[in-house]
Structure 1
Amino acid sequence: DVRAVMDAVGSRRAAFYGASEGAAMCILFAATYPDRTAALVVRSAYPRRMWAPDYPWGLTEEGYERDVERDLRIFGARDRAGEAVRRLGRFDDEELMSAVDLFRFGSSPGSLEALHRMNKEIDVRHVLPAVRVPTLILHGSEDTIVPVDVARYMGSRIPMARVVEIPGAGHLADRESAAAIAAEVERFLRDLWDAGGWEEGEPDRVLATVLFTDIVGSTAKATELGDRPWRELLERHHALIRRELVRFRGAELDVAGDGFFARFDGPARAIRCACAITESVRELGVEVRAGLHTGECEVMDGKVGGIAVHIGARVAKEAQPGEVLVSSTVKDLVAGSGLRFRERGTAALKGVAEVWRLYAVEHAE
């Protein structure tokens, strides 16, 4: 947890540098914690790895399998390992073997396959407009892994972004053109400092995951029990949910009858909290349904609002008894978390223009 490390070392605010797949984590952090992010620098970055109709630069399934097979050659004969690494950039023979050794000693076949699986699931495109900190996007003009058009795509969607192409550099631009990369980063941060950009402000918009829960058939249950037993059940219900919110570091924002509205700074923890809630309340003889969405929210006096909140509430209404339902955005942001989902099709959410693809959580260790 990046924030935990910052807290441990006493760092209130920092500039973040993310390369290749590491950029997605930095993008997510910057959007979630603009108050802790002075600036963002990404190099050879991509918001999504796989092809989609509206994202033509990604890998096809065939291309993905080919990449995995080719990269695993790093752990074979050194000449074949060199072939696998050479596509990352321009190297002389000595530099190539040094890069091969770096990959060999820094990973294992299993961890490399796991990294590829995680990269396959990454999709932070919806997050890009929520990054509201000064951003520098560095990209090699000859990158054959992630085309430079991806950098331009990201630059057009991050509001305060500047794209700098490094002439002649490939995917490992910081190895091929270290001096040029360092100069661009230094210039960017120095200009930001001189302009007073490191001064902390109060963000009015943040990326957040919202959770909505309510008891299924609550009116019938209240009628069946009567006023006092129903009130006692609600008190126990509220206590159980608040216990899980504390456990998973969620913030309670509102309670309306048997319905809870909470906010999280991490989608994976929000999902695990929702699953824990649906399990724990069963001891009360009731079922709850839960819905989650991640999006850019307006911050007003410690509360959050905006279209993302409305989408989260509508997702919850689509959930079945005992089910945790999430939007496609939430699913895309928890790649590598171990969470598993079942597709529930698309839904036209009331009051929301877009049709959303929804997923039910199947596994949340």
Structure 2
Amino acid sequence: MSLPETQYVKTPGGYVAYQVFGEGNLDILFISSWVSNLDVMWEIPQLANYLNQLASLGRVICFDKRGSGVSDPVPLASIPTLEEWMDDAREVLDAVSSQNVMLIGDCEGGFMAALFAATYSRRVSALVLINATPRWIRDEDYPIGYPKTAAAKLMKQFEQYWGTGLLLLMTAPSMATDAEFRKTFAKYERLSMSPGVAVDLYKWIMALDVRSVLPSIRCPVLILHRKSNDHYRVQYGRYLHEHITGSKLIELDGADCHPFFVGDTGEILEEVQKFLAGVEVEEHLNRELATIMFTDIVESTRQAAELGDRQWVNKLEAHNSIIRRNLHQYRGSEVQTTGDGFLTTFDGPARAIHCAKRIREEMGNLHLQLRIGLHTGELEFKKGIARGIALHLASRVMSAAGNNEIWVSRTVKDLVIGSGIEFSDQGVHELKGIPESWQLYAVVD
């Protein structure tokens, strides 16, 4: 196969580099961990061999995420969010006219792949997660993760080893003693990103948590995980399997996990091929993950009485205009109006929060205060009407908010890690009609 051409697509966040190679009816979006360089990867024999084998299954689409490889660089302390990386992937798919793909999320690429599959369910026919995890750090309800002290030690090792190839000791031990390969991979690391960006990015990755979206993944899912790696622990693969309905887990011998092209890659690709043979593409899915935003005017009844019908209608029309203009700017969708409020949805939680903040700011010009509540959850659409408990939860979050406040569920907070958005913990709340207690947060200006 001749070397593919590196092309660029311009996204709102900058230029993103991508390549397309292979042929067939199946489109495969391959999301590697986070170390990548499209122009260099074909110089590594093991990597080129893996990609050539993958291309035998269909048309493969690869891209360098912003901040890596030959895509636009990012400033230190301004690492893109998962949401922004998903935007990059969607722009690449649009550029190559790909409407439906099989996603492969390798190692840290699994975070983005899982979120993309849940958010854009109509565009994903199947999902393969290889040595992936939904979260790295241990929590009360996640005992399999790294203790925070161990994670801090790992970060020091990471900073010390970046660009030397010595990270292979953790991620691909069988290759760590191969001096020539270690030298080659060290160069690949250095050409993927600078040490400062790599360290900032890995700190962000260590804080990610996509557990809340796993139940919303509806496509066929294959989980492949090596049994013997202490960093990419097999318990992570088992957790994914337990929390993604209908998923299939295959545990593989060996400890070589990262980079994706080391170890027995033949058995991985063989399992992917067998999985694909049994996948039936669902033509129409009516469920998707969305960030739901409810707004409500504070003391609207009192204001309407004080202003009179004509002035209140004029103010309400100005209110509606502000919301609709900002929905357009932040790619939100109006579901319905609720008299003096709106029900809207977004395909990204950070975008929804930025929209909410802008709306609240502009409402000050009208001397209006709003309560705004946001939650990310699964919606079902029947005849264009959105349904689901996520709607009720977002509504209850709004009701809990104070005057002129924006409150979010913990799910939203977890999904915007790295966005720079700050929150104030509002404690645990019992929400009327909603099972279990919910941790809520207020957006801090």
- Mapped to 1, the partners of 2:307 and 2:206 lie a distance apart of 50
Equivalent residue for 2:306? Answer: 224
Give CA-to-partner distance per residue, 1:117-143, whole Å, 9 cap, x none: 222331111111110101111111112
- Mapped to 2, the partners of 1:149 and 1:182 lie a distance apart of 22
Equivalent residue for 1:180? Answer: 267
Give 1:75 shift: 4.1
**Do the aligned partners of 1:74 and 1:103 also contact (CA within 8 Å) in 2?**
no
- Mapped to 2, the partners of 1:263 and 1:348 lie a distance apart of 24
Give 1:208 shift: 1.1
> What is the number of equivalent residue pairs in this alignment?
354
**Do the aligned partners of 2:171 and 2:255 also contact (CA within 8 Å) in 1?**
no
The percent identity for this pair of structures is: 41
> Residue type of the partner of 1:257?
G
- Mapped to 1, the partners of 2:236 and 2:254 lie a distance apart of 16
Equivalent residue for 1:102? Answer: 188
Equivalent residue for 1:59? Answer: 146
Give 1:256 shift: 1.5
Equivalent residue for 1:165? Answer: 251
Equivalent residue for 1:127? Answer: 213
- Say yes or no: does 1:285 pair with 2:367: yes
Equivalent residue for 1:275? Answer: 357
> Residue type of the partner of 1:136?
L
> Residue type of the partner of 2:170?
R
> Residue type of the partner of 1:188?
F
**Do the aligned partners of 1:144 and 1:171 also contact (CA within 8 Å) in 2?**
no
> Residue type of the partner of 1:99?
F
List runs of 5+ in structure 2 lacking aligned partners: 1-86
- Mapped to 2, the partners of 1:174 and 1:138 lie a distance apart of 14
Give 1:336 shift: 2.2
- Mapped to 2, the partners of 1:97 and 1:361 lie a distance apart of 46
**Do the aligned partners of 2:393 and 2:431 also contact (CA within 8 Å) in 1?**
yes
Counterpart secondary structure, 2:375: strand
Counterpart secondary structure, 1:42: strand
Equivalent residue for 1:47? Answer: 134
TM-score by length of 1: 0.93
> Residue type of the partner of 1:87?
M
Equivalent residue for 2:346? Answer: 264
- Mapped to 2, the partners of 1:341 and 1:113 lie a distance apart of 24
Counterpart secondary structure, 2:245: coil
Give CA-to-partner distance per residue, 1:72-112, whole Å, 9 cap, x none: 11247x5xx52x33111221323233333322332222212
- Mapped to 1, the partners of 2:182 and 2:169 lie a distance apart of 7
**Do the aligned partners of 1:85 and 1:100 also contact (CA within 8 Å) in 2?**
no
Partner residue of 1:136 out of 215, 222, 226 = 222
Counterpart secondary structure, 1:176: coil
- Mapped to 1, the partners of 2:134 and 2:385 lie a distance apart of 29
- Cα RMSD of the aligned pairs, angstroms, is 1.6
User: Which structure shows the higher helix fraction?
Assistant: 1
Partner residue of 2:114 out of 27, 31, 51 = 27
- Mapped to 2, the partners of 1:75 and 1:256 lie a distance apart of 53
Equivalent residue for 1:8? Answer: 95
TM-score by length of 2: 0.77
- Mapped to 2, the partners of 1:174 and 1:55 lie a distance apart of 29
Which stretch of the first structure deviates more once superposed, 113-122 or 243-252?
113-122
Taking structure 1 as reference, are residues 75 and 130 closer, same or farther at Cα in structure 2, changes over 3 Å only? closer
